[in-house]
Copies of this chain bind each other. A is one copy, B any other.
Amino acid sequence: MPHAVQRRPLRADAQRNYDRIVSAARDVFARDGAEAALKEIARQAGTGSATLHRLFPSRRALLEAVFHDRVEELCAMAARRAEESEPGPALLAWLADLNAYASASRGLAASLLHGSRDADLLEQNEGCQAMITDAARELLRRAQQAGAVRPGVRAEDLLALVNAISLATEQHGDDEQAGRLLDIAIQGIQGRAA
């Protein structure tokens, strides 16, 4: 668990608020999207808005907390794909997993998987984004070694592409198109002789 976040335990009531907020955030994000009102989340959680801001210093921190479990699943899935299939197919299958997840969550996880570089968010990079990038890097390394994916492609590129596709098709709401775009991306990373 190289990326588990070290945190001293919260006082009992703080922990209760933490859980309530994450639970409310799950619902409200699902209903209103990633730009949902934080005040609404605090309201739904029955907590003061300042409590939310203390426990989660940024919108991103809250999103990380909400999607942490699913990101772990995706990492576990990466390991399983690597065991079950040859390097090339393993990567492609996992990209499909990633895309399914991204479009199922209506692009919610997009900002997580790809991430930004806002100054105050640098420390958060040890969270979901690092986990998923590591998983992608390992699958990609094997696929490139096997010649199934052309060199020059980076793990960050793969995440950015899936992220980009789900961002762009989210507003548009066209799942078929998302499929075609992923197809194009997959064709694009494969070696000429694949």
Contacts and interface: CB of A to CB of B under 8 A. Distances in A.
Interface of A: 111, 114-117, 150, 152-154, 156-157, 160-161, 163-165, 167-169, 171-173, 177, 180-181, 183-189
* A interface SS class: helix
Number of copies: 2
Q: Which 9 pairs across A and B sit closest by C-beta, in order of nearness?
A: A188-B188, A164-B168, A164-B164, A184-B188, A187-B188, A116-B171, A160-B168, A163-B168, A167-B167
19 contacts: A111-B171, A114-B168, A152-B180, A153-B184, A157-B181, A157-B184, A160-B168, A160-B169, A160-B172, A160-B181, A161-B164, A161-B168, A161-B181, A161-B184, A163-B168, A164-B164, A164-B165, A167-B167, A187-B188
| A114, A164, A172, A181 pick with most chain B CB within 10 angstroms | A164
